[in-house]
């Protein structure tokens, strides 16, 4: 009797595990979700400004459902579009990325790249993400210059270790960004400096939300910090949250809107829209884009 009970428990556990894996790989990773946040960073008595934040598409050529969903976000009519990297997951992904983003290129925009804009993913042990000093492995080179040329040709600001101002929503916005700190391509000192008084809004971008970089951006007076990279943990435990962030950020800040410590800045971390192609699962962490409505303080 006891053996039969243990057998049934074992089979039940296996069945539950298989059902969870099927849900995570076939259902939840395709449940694209729009998050909405109000961010109090504007001066008093000013009209709201809407920022669409996209990250971590990790696009494969055949992912038409994702491409269609992202393209549909143009109907939100954002004042500014911000993309924080890891757009590609395949050498042939550029047409798919552009099919997704083409309707958004008509809006003012800015971008930084992530590691998976430069090189493709490689097969890895998912448990290696729990190792802080794991060695980074590069895959095939990706056509990042082709993607960059399309973005900049549409008038989007390339903020990979760069700084600029642009007009969006009738406001003069100071923008700064770094190339991906996760692979040591960042060089914030080359673009550092206080936000000028003439700026009506200031936004800083980084693919990986590394605290050392975010601290410098906040110290310079940037009011809104935008990043991706974490996938929100990608596989989360209900009631507990992300197991890992794959960066220096604490698990409690793996996604969503947070006040950056010891500063007046706000940090928004996007859980992103894709997955590593060798681990195409999401659990308790839907793929997402965010519309950030900037409002008076």
Considering the entire predicted model, what is its pTM?
0.90
Alpha carbons 140 and 179: distance in angstroms, whole number: 19
Domain spans of the chain, in order of start: 31-296
Query: What tens digit of pLDDT does each residue of 177-219 get?
Result: 999 999 999 999 999 999 999 999 999 999 999 999 999 999 9
Q: What is the dihedral of CA 83, 207, 174, 82, to 10 degrees?
A: 10
Residue 184: burial class (beta carbons within 10 Å; 0-12, 13-18, 19+): exposed
31-296 architecture in CATH?
A: 4-Layer Sandwich (3.60)
Q: pLDDT band for position 4 (50/70/90)? A: low
* The pLDDT of residue 7: 47
CB distance 94 to 146 below 8 Å: yes
Residue 10: burial class (beta carbons within 10 Å; 0-12, 13-18, 19+): exposed
Alpha carbons 231 and 130: distance in angstroms, whole number: 14
CA 287 and chain centroid, separation: 10
Residue where the block lists tokens 């969870």? 20
Closest CA to 252 of 266, 281, 232: 232
Q: Which residues pair with 40 in a beta bridge?
A: 295
Closest CA to 130 of 35, 234, 213: 234
Alpha carbons 213 and 21: distance in angstroms, whole number: 36
Q: What is the mean pLDDT of residues 164-184?
A: 97
Name which of 4-13, 240-249, 261-270 the model is least confident about.
4-13
* 3 state DSSP class of 108: coil
* The pLDDT of residue 122: 75
Query: What tens digit of pLDDT does each residue of 53-104 get?
Result: 999 999 999 999 999 999 999 999 999 999 999 999 999 999 999 999 999 9
């Amino acid at each position: 009797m006891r053996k039969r009970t243990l057998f049934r428990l074992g089979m039940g556990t296996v069945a539950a595990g298989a059902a969870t894996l099927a849900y995570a790989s076939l259902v939840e990773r395709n449940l694209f979700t729009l998050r909405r946040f109000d961010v109090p960073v504007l001066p008093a008595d000013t009209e709201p400004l809407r920022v669409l934040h996209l990250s971590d598409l990790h696009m494969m050529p055949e992912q038409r459902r994702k491409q269609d969903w992202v393209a549909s976000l143009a109907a939100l009519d954002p004042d500014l579009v911000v993309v924080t990297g890891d757009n590609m997951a395949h050498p042939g992904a550029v047409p798919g990325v552009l099919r997704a983003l083409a309707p958004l290129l008509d809006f003012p925009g800015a971008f930084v790249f992530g590691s998976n804009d430069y090189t493709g993913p490689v097969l890895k042990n998912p448990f290696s993400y729990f190792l802080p000093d794991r060695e980074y492995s590069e895959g095939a080179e990706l056509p990042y210059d082709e993607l960059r040329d399309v973005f900049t040709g549409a008038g989007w600001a390339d903020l990979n270790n760069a700084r600029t101002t642009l007009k969006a929503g009738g406001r003069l916005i100071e923008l700064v960004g770094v190339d991906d700190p996760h692979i040591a391509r960042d060089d914030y000192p080359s673009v550092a400096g206080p936000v000028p008084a003439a700026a009506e809004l200031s936004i800083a971008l980084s693919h990986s939300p590394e605290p050392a970089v975010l601290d410098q951006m906040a110290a310079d007076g940037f009011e809104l910090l935008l990043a991706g990279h974490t996938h929100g943990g990608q596989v989360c435990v209900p009631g507990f949250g992300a197991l890992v962030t794959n960066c220096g950020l604490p698990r409690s800040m793996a996604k969503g809107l947070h006040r950056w410590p010891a500063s007046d800045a706000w940090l928004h971390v996007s859980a992103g829209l894709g997955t590593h192609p060798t681990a195409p699962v999401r659990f308790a962490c839907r793929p997402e884009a965010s519309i950030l409505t900037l409002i008076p303080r």
